[in-house]
A and B are shown apart, each in its own frame.
Chain A
Amino acid sequence: MTATGAAASAGSVRYDRARESATVLGIYLASIAVALMVAALVLFATGGSWTSVLSALLDGSVRGPGRWGTTIGVGIPLLLVALGTIINSRAGLVNLGQEGQLFVGAALGTYVATHIGVGGPGVLFLIMLAGVAGGAIWAGIAAVLRYQRRMPEVLTTLLLVFVAAQAVGYGLKNKNLLLDPTPDQANRNLISERLRPDTRIPRLDWFGNDFPMTAFIALLLAILVTLVLRWTIVGFRLQMLGRGPRTAHRAGVSEARYGGLALVISGAFCGLAGAFMLTGGDFGNYRLTPNYPVNIGWEGLLVALVGRNHPLVVIPVAFVFAALRTGSGFLAATGVDRDITKVVQALLVLALLVPPAILFVRDRRRALAAAAERV
Chain B
Amino acid sequence: MVGDFFVAVGDVLSSETTYSSGWRLAVALAFVAVGEWIAERAGTINISVEGSMLAGAFASAMGYDASGSVAVGLLIGAAAGLLVGAVQAHFSHNLTANQFVVGLTLNILVLGLASFLNSSLKPETATAHVFEVPGLVEIPLLGPALFGQPWPLYLLYPLIPLAWWLVYRTRWGLEVRAVGENPQAADVSSIDVNARRRQAIYVAGVTSGLGGGYLLLGQVGWFEDAIVGGQGFIAIAAVIFGGWTLRGAMLGCLLFGSANSFRLSLPAVGHPLNSELLSSLPFVLTICVMALFAHRTREPQSLARPFIRGLR
Taking Cβ atoms with an 8 Å cutoff, the residues of A that contact B are 42, 46-48, 94, 96, 145, 149-152, 154-156, 158-160, 162-163, 165-167, 169-170, 173, 295, 298, 301-302, 305, 336-337, 339-343, 345-347, 349-350, 353-354, 356-358, 360-361, 364
Contact of B96 among A145, A162, A360 (CB under 8 A): A360
With contact pairs A162-B230, A350-B105 given, residues A358 and B95 touching in the complex (Cβ less than 8 Å): yes
Beyond A342-B108, A346-B112, 16 extra complex contacts between A and B, CB < 8 Å: A94-B98, A145-B291, A154-B304, A156-B287, A160-B287, A162-B230, A165-B280, A298-B108, A302-B105, A339-B115, A342-B109, A343-B109, A343-B113, A353-B105, A354-B91, A356-B97
Instruction: Please name all residues of chain B whose beta carbon is closer than 8 Å to the beta carbon of A350 when the two chains form the complex.
Output: 87, 91, 102, 105-106, 109
User: Does chain A have a CB within 8 A of B174?
Assistant: no
Bound Cα distance A96, B112 (Å): 19
Chain B binding surface, main DSSP class: helix
User: Does chain A have a CB within 8 A of B53?
Assistant: no
For the complex formed, measure the closest distance between the CB of B230 and the CB atoms of chain A, giving whole angstroms. 6
Contact of B100 among A48, A94, A347 (CB under 8 A): A94
Selected interface stretch from B117-125, B198-206, B214-222: B117-125
Q: Are B104 and A340 in contact (CB under 8 A)?
A: no
User: Does chain A have a CB within 8 A of B237?
Assistant: yes
User: Does chain A have a CB within 8 A of B164?
Assistant: no
Bound Cα distance A152, B303 (Å): 10
Q: Are A167 and B276 in contact (CB under 8 A)?
A: yes
Q: Are B120 and A357 in contact (CB under 8 A)?
A: no
Bound Cα distance A342, B104 (Å): 13
Instruction: Please name all residues of chain A whose beta carbon is closer than 8 Å to the beta carbon of B282 when the two chains form the complex.
Output: 162
Q: Are B100 and A337 in contact (CB under 8 A)?
A: no
- Residue of chain B at shortest CB distance from A156: B287
29 A-B pairs (CB sep. < 8 Å): A42-B113, A42-B117, A47-B120, A149-B290, A149-B294, A151-B290, A152-B303, A155-B240, A156-B290, A158-B47, A159-B287, A162-B282, A163-B280, A163-B284, A167-B280, A295-B108, A336-B120, A337-B115, A341-B112, A345-B108, A346-B109, A346-B112, A347-B109, A349-B105, A350-B102, A350-B106, A354-B95, A354-B97, A357-B97
Contact of A343 among B116, B121, B237, B304 (CB under 8 A): B116
Instruction: Please name all residues of chain A whose beta carbon is closer than 8 Å to the beta carbon of B45 when the two chains form the complex.
Output: 154-155
For the complex formed, measure the closest distance between the CB of A316 and the CB atoms of chain B, giving whole angstroms. 20
Q: Are A305 and B284 in contact (CB under 8 A)?
A: no
Instruction: Please name all residues of chain A whose beta carbon is closer than 8 Å to the beta carbon of B290 when the two chains form the complex.
Output: 145, 149, 151, 155-156
With contact pairs A150-B294, A156-B287, A361-B95 given, residues A353 and B102 touching in the complex (Cβ less than 8 Å): yes
Bound Cα distance A295, B121 (Å): 25
Bound Cα distance A47, B121 (Å): 10
Work out how many contacts link A and B, with CB atoms closer than 8 A.
Answer: 135
Taking Cβ atoms with an 8 Å cutoff, the residues of B that contact A are 45, 47, 87, 91, 95-98, 100-102, 104-106, 108-109, 111-113, 115-117, 119-121, 230, 233, 237, 240, 274, 276-277, 279-280, 282-284, 286-287, 290-291, 294, 303-304, 310
Instruction: Please name all residues of chain B whose beta carbon is closer than 8 Å to the beta carbon of A170 when the two chains form the complex.
Output: 274, 276-277
For the complex formed, measure the closest distance between the CB of A140 and the CB atoms of chain B, giving whole angstroms. 14
A-B pairs with the 10 shortest C-beta distances? A342-B112, A346-B109, A357-B95, A166-B280, A339-B116, A337-B119, A170-B276, A166-B276, A46-B120, A343-B112
Instruction: Please name all residues of chain A whose beta carbon is closer than 8 Å to the beta carbon of B287 when the two chains form the complex.
Output: 145, 151, 156, 159-160, 163
Q: Are A340 and B112 in contact (CB under 8 A)?
A: yes
Q: Are B291 and A149 in contact (CB under 8 A)?
A: yes
For the complex formed, measure the closest distance between the CB of B192 and the CB atoms of chain A, giving whole angstroms. 16
For the complex formed, measure the closest distance between the CB of B156 and the CB atoms of chain A, giving whole angstroms. 24
Instruction: Please name all residues of chain A whose beta carbon is closer than 8 Å to the beta carbon of B233 when the two chains form the complex.
Output: 158-159, 162
With contact pairs A150-B294, A169-B276 given, residues A159 and B104 touching in the complex (Cβ less than 8 Å): no
For the complex formed, measure the closest distance between the CB of B275 and the CB atoms of chain A, giving whole angstroms. 9
Q: Are A159 and B283 in contact (CB under 8 A)?
A: yes
Q: Are B119 and A339 in contact (CB under 8 A)?
A: yes
Bound Cα distance A350, B233 (Å): 21
